[in-house]
Amino acid sequence: MAGRTSINLSAIKKIIGLLLVIEGLFMLSCLGFSAWYDPGFFSNLRLFDPSHDFFPLLVSGTGTALIGLLLWTFNKKLDQSSIGKREGYIIVTLTWVVISLFGALPFILAGTTSSYTDAFFETMSGFTTTGSTIFNDIEALPKGILFWRSMTHWIGGMGIIVLSLTILPILGIGGMQLFIAEVPGLIPDKLHPRITQTAKSLWIIYVFLTLVQTILLMLGGMNLFESLCHAFGTLATGGFSTRNDSVAGFSPYIQYVIIIFMYLSGISFTLHYFVFKRQFGKVFHNEELRTYTLVVLISTVLIMAGLVFVQHRNPGIAFRDSLFQVVSVITTTGFITSDYLLWPFYAWLLIFLLMFVGGCAGSTGGGIKVVRILLLFKNSRLELKRIVHPQAVLPVRLNGKPLSQDIVYNVLAFFLIYMITFAFGSLVMSALGLEFESAVGAVATSLGNIGPGLGIVGPVLNFSVIPAPGKWILSFLMMLGRLELFTVLILFSSSFWRK
């Protein structure tokens, strides 16, 4: 609102409180699987047994919801002037920190992690849909904890702010500020005049695709628990699995189902909306989608050629493994069917480069995003023409429409800051004792919200060996990547806080 200079702390605390209530309810929803997978749960009256995961989930969920309720109740009522741009950025950044702080409680109370640092790392990795893990034996985890672990993906994939806008119309007050700060992309698409309707449409599509994939996985032999967990990890492009070998041990049918839904999750959900509305022209003529598909196909063929002609693998298996890992990495999902570090050098190097590309803007994928890479190439090509014809007006076009210079400058700034952050993060991780390959792999996978990296954090290993300070740094990079840099970094600008 014009003229307002102070930050509305009451509105910030009230909304964060409301989001904590939602998080607490999600925690409590995991209790069913905790009880169901313990045959002696009811007969042995283990409801309040602290050694069972039911009690930690019950305490964590109830405590989180109660604290959130107190914050909501004892702060001023929201009105039209409650949420401006500054409040929006603060609320979104603080929300992702706070929900991770509270989301770590089930892990630490259940004794599944040895330190709060590990619990926070796992939770931030879940909410940001990174999928990096510190667990050495995932299959030994209690089912309730495993389900909460996967649910953090699903909540974070579309965004807890977007979810709150869907179910709580009151947040339509200033809701656009929250939506812009959380939803990835150049300019978040408004599908409806009211932002709450846009959020609702996105979540309806998200839930629908989750249900469809769950059913298809069950048809392939997965039980309901594993089907839900893997659907959550796929649609959110997160990558947490219920198995130690990720998806490698499942049938080719299940792997292909996951490939299809990873690919769909890497597409802008605005295009999914157009499909549901039968506006197919907007989908087929979308340059970002065509580029995304082309990169997947070319990368798959190049890697498959190496596996077949260099390592002499079966063509059918080579195609499936190549396609799976390419789609998994470019969409930043991070599921694994093969150790790509054992592939020919150029193949795993290509996989590493795909970590920077990411999915489409407006998808649940991380990374720089295909559209930004596309615009960088378009602008570079036009710059060569501008050198030859300095007087010519040559705007960068996307889908046939000229883009403003502000958007081009935004893309250039984003790419520069992204690469500087990657380089600086790699130096810091090297200073903490990681060798070069592991340092760049850990930073690239955290900043891009991917999951597996290189070296000691490669596809068949995990992040348990990273020193505690490194886990906090990587957790920050995960959040930085999920909120696309500017939402977080703007809080470190003195002009942001200046009246």
45: left (phi over 0), alpha (psi -120 to 50) or beta: left
In a domain, residue 20? The reply is: yes
String of DSSP letters for 298-311: HHHHHHHHHHHHTS
pTM for the full predicted model: 0.92
**Total domain count, the chain:** 2
Section 289-311 average pLDDT? 96
pLDDT of 46 above 60: no
Domain boundary among 254, 275, 310: 254
**196 versus 64: which is more confidently predicted?**
64
- Of 254, 279, 311, which one is at a domain's C-terminal end? 254
Q: What pLDDT does residue 41 have?
A: 62
The reply to whether 369 falls in a domain is no
DSSP code for 401: E
Establish if 82 belongs to a structural domain: yes
> Mean pLDDT in the chain?
88
The verdict on residue 362 lying in a domain is: no
Report the pLDDT averaged over residues 86-91.
83
User: Which residue among 199, 225, 254 closes a domain?
Assistant: 254
Element (H, E) at 402: strand 401-402
Q: Which residue has the higher pLDDT, 11 or 324?
A: 324
Which of 167, 164, 157, 165 has its CA nearest to residue 213?
157
Instruction: Say if 204 falls within a structural domain.
Output: yes
Output the CA–CA distances (angstroms, integers) from residue 427 to 99, 399, 422, 474, in the order listed.
29, 39, 9, 13
Residue 119 in any domain: the answer is yes
93 found inside a domain: yes
pLDDT at residue 444 tops 90: yes
Distances (CA, A) of 65 to 22, 24, 281: 7, 5, 45
Structural domain includes residue 381: no
- pLDDT by residue (tens digit) across 387-433? 888 888 888 998 888 988 888 998 999 999 999 999 999 999 999 99
Q: Comparing 5 with 355, which gets the higher pLDDT? A: 355
Beta bridge mates, 401: 398
Confidence class of residue 173 from pLDDT cuts 50, 70 and 90?
very low
Contact 336, 425 (CB under 8 A): no
| pLDDT single digits (tens) 246-290 | 999 999 999 999 999 999 999 998 899 889 888 898 899 999 999
**Residue 175 near residue 196, CB atoms below 8 Å:** yes
Percent of the chain at pLDDT exceeding 90: 64
Cβ density class 301-321: b for 16+ within 10 Å, e for less: eebbebbbeeeebeeeebbbb
Give me the domain span that covers residue 470. 403-497
Indicate the residue type of 392. A
CA–CA dist 126, 129 (Å, integer): 5
